[in-house]
Amino acid sequence: MPSISIPVLVLWGDEDSFTPVDGPVGKYFSSLPSQLSNVKLIVLEQVGHCPDDDRPDLVHEKLLPKLVG
């Protein structure tokens, strides 16, 4: 991740049981915004491992402004 210079938006479900946000991978990605200015993490409430399947409306709400704006 440190070699990526383009903006990165990470959407993570707070109910992800496969890769929980408090697990090793989740902790790594949670730490990135404080280390890399191009990374933004948004934890989505009441969302599991596949945010775009679980809550497509919420994913679109967070993702579309980044694509359009």
Whether the per-residue pLDDT at 69 is higher than 70: the answer is: no
Query: Residue with structure tokens 């990470």?
Result: 10
What range defines the domain where residue 27 resides? 8-68
Host H or E run for residue 43: strand 39-44
Q: Is residue 22 domain-resident?
A: yes
Q: Is residue 3 domain-resident?
A: no
**pLDDT value of residue 67:** 74
Q: What is the pLDDT of residues 4-61, one digit of tens each?
A: 999 999 999 999 999 999 999 999 999 999 999 999 999 999 999 999 999 999 999 9
**pLDDT value of residue 65:** 80
Higher-pLDDT residue of 14 and 2 is 14
Q: Is residue 2 domain-resident?
A: no
**pLDDT value of residue 3:** 94
Whether 58 contacts 12, CB under 8 Å: no
**pLDDT value of residue 30:** 97
* Domain count across the chain: 1
Q: Which sign does the torsion angle of CA 19, 20, 24, 25 carry?
A: positive
Whether 38 contacts 7, CB under 8 Å: yes
Q: Is residue 50 domain-resident?
A: yes
Q: Is residue 19 domain-resident?
A: yes
Q: Is residue 57 domain-resident?
A: yes
